[in-house]
Chain A
Amino acid sequence: MSRRKFIATVGGVAVVAGVSGGILYEVFRPKLITELPRHVAPNAYTQNGKSLLSIVKGTSDTNVETMVREALDAIGGIDRVVSSGTRVVVKPAVLNNQPYVAPDPHVVAEVARLAMEAGGTVVVAECSGGGDTSYCMQVQGITSAVQAVGATVRYLNTESQIQIAVPNGVTLHDVKTFPTIYDCDVLISVPRLKRHFSPTPTVTISLKNMMGVVPLSEMNRFHNMGLSQCIADVNTVMKPNLTVVDATYAMARSGPDDGDPIEMDTIMASGDPVAIDLIGAQKLMELEQQHGIPTSDYPDYTNIAHINAAATLGVGTNNPDNITIVERNLS
C-alpha cells in the first residue's frame, strides 16, 4: 500500500466516523418531554374537600401487614387508585445499607401485594443516594421481601435518563428522571418517619422521598439551587398518588441515618403528601417531647420550608383544618 493511499484511507475513515457519530448523537440525545407524567392527578382520597389521613396505632406484637391494610382501608382502600391493569410504582426510601434508615421490608412488600391484589402490575423502584441501589436494597432485605410477593424490583440507577419539564416550578424548569417513573399510572411513596439533622429539610418523609426518583446529578443541582424549593418543585411533577409512612420505628433526635430509632408502632397513609409530611412532623415532635429529646434546634412543624413551599405550589395542603384525620387503635 502506498503512503498516499494509506493517508487517504485513514482520512476517509475518520470523516465517516465523525459524521456518523454526529448523526447518532443527535438522534439519541435526550429531548425535553413536555407532557406531564401520567400519575400526576388530583388527590383521590378526599372527603368533603378535605384530605383524608389515617393513623393506625398498634403494639409491638401487632402484625405489620394488618396495620398497613387498616391504614389504607381507613382512607378508602387502595382500589381508589389501583384497578385491573394499572401500572404501579412503589417507591421506598432506601437511602443506604444501614438498619432503620429504610421502611420495614414487610411494609413495602404488603403495599406491593395489596396493589397486585387490586389488579395492578407492581414495580418497586429506587435510586438511592447513599450507595449502590442494588446492594443497599438487598442488605435492607427489601429486594427479597418484594420478590417473595411476586413484584419486580428495578434499580433506577441502571436505567437511562429522560428529561421532563416542570411547568409550575419556581426554581426548576426541567428535571431528569427515569422512564419507569414517567410511564407509571400510579406512584406510591413508602418512606419511614425520620428526623433530618439539617434544619433543611428538618424531616425526611414523603416529599423528600421523591429525591430518589431523580438521578444523582440532579441531587447535586438541587443543593446548588436551593434544596427546599427544589423538593417542592419536583413534587409537582413526581406527585405520589398515595403515601404509606412506616412509623413502626421513627428515627428521632437526628437523621437520616444517625438518629435514635424509637418504637412508635404506627402506620400512616394519605393521598396528600404535604399533609402527611405536616402531620408526620407533628407526631415526630410529640414523640421526641415524650422521650425528653430537645427539639429547639429544629423549626416547628408548621415552619418547615419544603412543606410550605409544596403547599404553595398546590401539591397538597399544609392547613390542619383541611385535613381529616382518621385514627384507628389496634391494641
Chain B
Amino acid sequence: MLKTKIGKFELLRVFTVIFVVVFFVVAPIFGLVYGTTCALNFGNFALISPLELFLLPLGTKTFLLTWLVPSVTVIIAIIFFGRFFCGWICPVGGLLEYSHLLTDKKPRKNVGGLYNNWEKYAVLFAVLLAAYLFDFSAPYLFSPPGSVYRALVEIVTHGIMSIDLTVILLFFAVDLLAIRYGRSWCNSLCPLGTVISSFSFVNLFKPKVDQEKCIDFDFNCLNCERVCPMRIPVTRANRWMMMECNKCLKCWDQCPVDAIKIELFS
C-alpha cells in the first residue's frame, strides 16, 4: 500500500538543502556571513554547533564565556524545533536518504523499536571521553556536514585543486551504508544528531496520529513507519522516540487515509 509518488515536501526539502549550501558558499564573498555547520559568524554575532559546547570545555579543560551565547542560542532553537537541522539543512543527511536510488532496491524496512538507535549514545560517550582524555577532537574532523561545507569553502576560496580527497572518501564510506539502510549514520552513529535529539524537549511540529482513522493494525499498513527516515514507529511512538523526528513530513504525505497531522504542539 506504499504510495510511491514523490511527496511535495521532498522537493521543497531538497531545494532548501541546496539553497542553504549555495547561500553559505556564496554569501562570504559579499562578507555577509562566514562559516560552516561547525560555526557561523554573522559579523555581530556567532553561532556554534551544540556538540562543540561539550567538546570545547572537555578538550581545553576551561570554559570561555565567549562560547556561551553562540552555542546556547542554537540549543534553544533545538529545544523548540528538534532535529530540524537533520532534515532540512544537513546536506549529507539529505543525500543519505536518496542513496538507495543508486540501486534498484528500496531501503530496508524499519525493524521497529529503538533498538537500532542506542549505539549512538555509545559513540557520543566515546567521543566526549576521547576529547577529555586524549584532547582528540575527532568529531570536528569526521563530521560529514562539516567536511562537506569545509570542502566547498576551500574550493570557493582557493580553487578546485585544493579539495581534499580524503573528504570524498569519507563521504562515500558513510554513504555506502546508506545505500542499503537509508539514514543509518544519522540514526545509529552521528554524535551531533545524538546531541540534537537529546535536547528536543519541546519539539514543535510533531506528527500526530488520529487513531480512529488509522488503519495500521487492521490492514497492516504501517506506511508512516516504512517511510520515516529516522525509523520512528509513528503510530506507537512515545514522546522520547518522537525526539528523533527531523520534520521531513514524509509520514504526513504518505499516509493513505490522511490520518496524520502535523501540529504545533502535541
Contact = CB atoms under 8 A, between A and B. Distances in A.
A and B touch in the complex (CB under 8 A): yes
Interface of A: 1-3, 6
Contacts of B102: 3, 6
Contacts of A3: 102-104
B105 to A, nearest CB: 10
A149 to B, nearest CB: 30
A62 B145 CA distance: 65
A3 B102 CA distance: 6
Interface string B85-112: 0000000000000000111100000000
B143 to A, nearest CB: 27
Contacts of A2: 104
Interface of B: 101-104
Contacts of A1: 101
Closest 7 CB pairs of A and B: A2-B104, A1-B101, A6-B102, A3-B103, A3-B104, A3-B102, A6-B101
Contacts of A6: 101-102
A2 B100 CA distance: 11
A161 to B, nearest CB: 17
7 contacts: A1-B101, A2-B104, A3-B102, A3-B103, A3-B104, A6-B101, A6-B102
A1 B104 CA distance: 7
A6 B100 CA distance: 12
Contacts, number: 7
A122 B80 CA distance: 59
A30 B139 CA distance: 46
B159 to A, nearest CB: 15
A6 B98 CA distance: 13
A13 to B, nearest CB: 15
A2 B101 CA distance: 8
Nearest to B104: A2
B176 to A, nearest CB: 15
Nearest to A4: B104
Contacts of B103: 3
Contacts of B101: 1, 6
Contacts of B104: 2-3
A238 B257 CA distance: 79
A6 B102 CA distance: 7
A1 B103 CA distance: 8
Nearest to A2: B104
B108 to A, nearest CB: 18
Nearest to B102: A6
A264 B19 CA distance: 61
B257 to A, nearest CB: 29
Nearest to B101: A1
A127 B103 CA distance: 55
A1 B99 CA distance: 11
B128 to A, nearest CB: 40
B10 to A, nearest CB: 15
Nearest to A6: B102
A9 to B, nearest CB: 11
A311 B104 CA distance: 77
A3 B105 CA distance: 10
A158 to B, nearest CB: 13
A213 B103 CA distance: 57
B147 to A, nearest CB: 22
A139 to B, nearest CB: 19
B140 to A, nearest CB: 32
A3 B104 CA distance: 7
